[in-house]
């Protein structure tokens, strides 16, 4: 096991320290990379606690930025692997996180990195202040790959967290709600105001904890068919389930037979379907 020497570096989660680092390295927060750096030590601590981070943990961080959350995670004694897309930042991180021998910085795009190769087959956690322009693709990629993730603790736009936890019948219930709830038990942990970042984002943020289920919430014969049906249902969410599925390429007779077999009304909209109902419909369509 590695000796996790604590650094004598100042706490990065502070407006003055962050401004100083940005000035020293001539950095400007890149909007197109979703760069909003945390400057609130209380929020960093809140994420570390929500991740239940400690010695023996392996944590994948997405987008370490200048090392703000990384430092908090490293201080807990966890082994941190952080993937950063911005090519300028690894050199900055080498200095801001100097002294932490439990941090590995991996330059690259989280959507392209081979995560099984990077993290291996042992359980790990994910912690991140996510870049908001690709929150959904990142969450979907992490969930769909069946990685040995136990806990996902992420800072997301409040509106996205509300979609992740939305229930059937609500206007914001959609494919993201179904996917997140199929794989995990999501729970909003706490609100984070715009002033906790530099620069301040134009939206409200929250930290959401998603505990990965040992088994998905519902059992299905084919996960591929389950998500095909879900995507079809929400692809044209104003239409009835039968019409939305027809629009997505399913045959009318096939849909009618499957809905009847499950005792589901063809006039209902997909947005009213529970995970169990999507599962039974998908199973009826799986040959
Ligand atoms: N963790 C830092 C913090 O809390 O202050 C920075 C968070 S900032 C909201 C998001 C970070 O993700 C930025 O550092 C950005 O460069 C990085 N990023 C953006 N797209 C990425 C991608 N596709 N893969 C990896 N990192 C990415």
- 125-145 pLDDT, tens digit each: 999 999 999 999 999 999 999
Query: Which segment of 8-12, 185-189, 198-202 scores lowest on mean pLDDT?
Result: 8-12
Structure tokens at 32: 């197109």
Structure tokens at 258: 């499957």
CA of 286 to the centre of ligand 1 (A): 40
Residue-level pLDDT at 72: 98
Is the CB of residue 186 below 6 angstroms from any atom belonging to ligand 1?
no
Q: If you average pLDDT over residues 223-244, what whole number do you get? A: 95
Q: If you average pLDDT over residues 80-105, what whole number do you get? A: 97
Q: If you average pLDDT over residues 20-25, what whole number do you get? A: 97
Buried b (16+ CB within 10 A) or exposed e, 13-35: bbeebbeebbeeeebebeeebbb
Strands 124-129 and 58-62 turn out to be: parallel
Is the CB of residue 73 below 6 angstroms from any atom belonging to ligand 1?
no
Domain boundaries along the sequence of the chain? 3-212, 223-285
Q: If you average pLDDT over residues 68-73, what whole number do you get? A: 98
Please say whether the beta carbons of 130 and 154 come within 8 A.
yes
184 Rama sector, left if φ>0, alpha if ψ -120 to 50, beta otherwise: beta
Residue-level pLDDT at 6: 59
Alpha carbon 60 to its chain centroid, in Å, reads: 12
Rg of the chain's alpha carbons, rounded to an integer?
21
Split at pLDDT 50, 70, 90, the class of 2 is very low
Residue-level pLDDT at 1: 40
Split at pLDDT 50, 70, 90, the class of 59 is very high
Residue-level pLDDT at 237: 87
Residue-level pLDDT at 225: 97
Alpha carbon 232 to its chain centroid, in Å, reads: 23
Q: If you average pLDDT over residues 80-87, what whole number do you get? A: 98
Is the CB of residue 110 below 6 angstroms from any atom belonging to ligand 1?
yes
CA of 130 to the centre of ligand 1 (A): 6
For tokens 């959507």, name the residue: 111
Structure tokens at 113: 């990195």
Q: If you average pLDDT over residues 230-250, what whole number do you get? A: 95
Mutate to test the pocket of ligand 1, among 65, 110, 202 (most ligand atoms within 8 A of CB): 65
Supply the DSSP symbol for 118.
Answer: H
Q: How far apart are CA 86 and CA 91, in angstroms?
A: 10
Is the CB of residue 63 below 6 angstroms from any atom belonging to ligand 1?
yes
Strands 184-192 and 103-107 turn out to be: unpaired
Is the CB of residue 29 below 6 angstroms from any atom belonging to ligand 1?
no
Is the CB of residue 21 below 6 angstroms from any atom belonging to ligand 1?
no
Which residues, other chains included, contact 179 with Cβ-Cβ below 8 Å and sequence gap of 6+?
139, 140, 143, 144, 227, 230
What's the chain's average pLDDT? 96
Q: What is the pTM of this model?
A: 0.95
Split at pLDDT 50, 70, 90, the class of 239 is very high
Is the CB of residue 216 below 6 angstroms from any atom belonging to ligand 1?
no
Q: What is the pLDDT of residues 255-268, one digit of tens each?
A: 999 999 999 999 99
Is the CB of residue 65 below 6 angstroms from any atom belonging to ligand 1?
yes
Share of the chain above pLDDT 90, in %: 95
Q: If you average pLDDT over residues 218-245, what whole number do you get? A: 96
3-212 has which CATH code? 3.40.50.150
Q: How far apart are CA 97 and CA 129, in angstroms?
A: 17
Is the CB of residue 64 below 6 angstroms from any atom belonging to ligand 1?
yes
CA of 246 to the centre of ligand 1 (A): 39
Q: Of the candidates 126, 141, 129, 131, which has an alpha carbon nearest to the alpha carbon of residue 52? A: 126
Mutate to test the pocket of ligand 1, among 112, 131, 207 (most ligand atoms within 8 A of CB): 131
Q: Name the closest-CA residue to atom 10, ligand 1.
A: 131
Domain 223-285, CATH homologous superfamily name and number? rRNA adenine dimethylase, C-terminal domain (1.10.8.100)
Q: If you average pLDDT over residues 14-32, what whole number do you get? A: 97
Q: How far apart are CA 147 and CA 115, in angstroms?
A: 8
Q: Of the candidates 283, 286, 245, which has an alpha carbon nearest to the alpha carbon of residue 262? A: 283
Structure tokens at 220: 């299905």
Cα angle at 201 between 198 and 204, to 5 degrees? Answer: 125
């Amino acid at each position: 096991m590695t000796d996790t020497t604590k650094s004598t570096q100042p706490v990065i989660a502070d407006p003055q320290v962050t401004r100083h680092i940005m000035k020293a390295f001539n950095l400007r927060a890149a909007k197109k990379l979703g760069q909003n750096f945390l400057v609130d030590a209380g929020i960093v601590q809140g994420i570390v606690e929500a991740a239940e981070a400690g010695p023996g943990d392996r944590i994948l961080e997405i987008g370490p930025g200048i090392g703000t959350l990384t430092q908090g995670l490293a201080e807990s004694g966890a082994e941190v692997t952080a993937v950063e897309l911005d090519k300028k930042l690894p050199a900055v991180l080498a200095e801001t996180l100097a002294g932490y021998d439990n941090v590995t910085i991996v330059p690259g795009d989280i959507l392209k990195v081979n995560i099984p190769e990077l993290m291996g087959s042992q359980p790990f956690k994910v912690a991140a202040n996510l870049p908001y322009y690709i929150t959904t693709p990142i969450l979907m990629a992490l969930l769909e790959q069946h990685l040995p993730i136990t806990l996902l603790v992420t800072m997301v736009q409040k509106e996205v967290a509300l979609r992740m936890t939305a229930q059937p019948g609500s206007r914001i219930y959609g494919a993201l709600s179904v996917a997140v709830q199929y794989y995990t038990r999501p729970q909003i942990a706490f609100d984070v105001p715009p002033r906790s970042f530099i620069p301040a984002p134009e939206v409200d943020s929250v930290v959401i904890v998603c505990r990965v289920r040992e088994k998905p919430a519902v059992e299905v014969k084919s996960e591929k068919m389950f998500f095909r049906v879900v995507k079809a249902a929400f692809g044209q969410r104003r239409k009835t389930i039968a019409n939305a599925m027809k629009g997505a390429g399913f045959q009318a007779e096939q849909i009618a037979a499957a809905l009847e077999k499950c005792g589901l009304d063809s006039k209902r909209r997909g947005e009213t379907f529970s995970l169990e109902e999507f599962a039974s419909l998908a199973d009826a369509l799986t040959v």
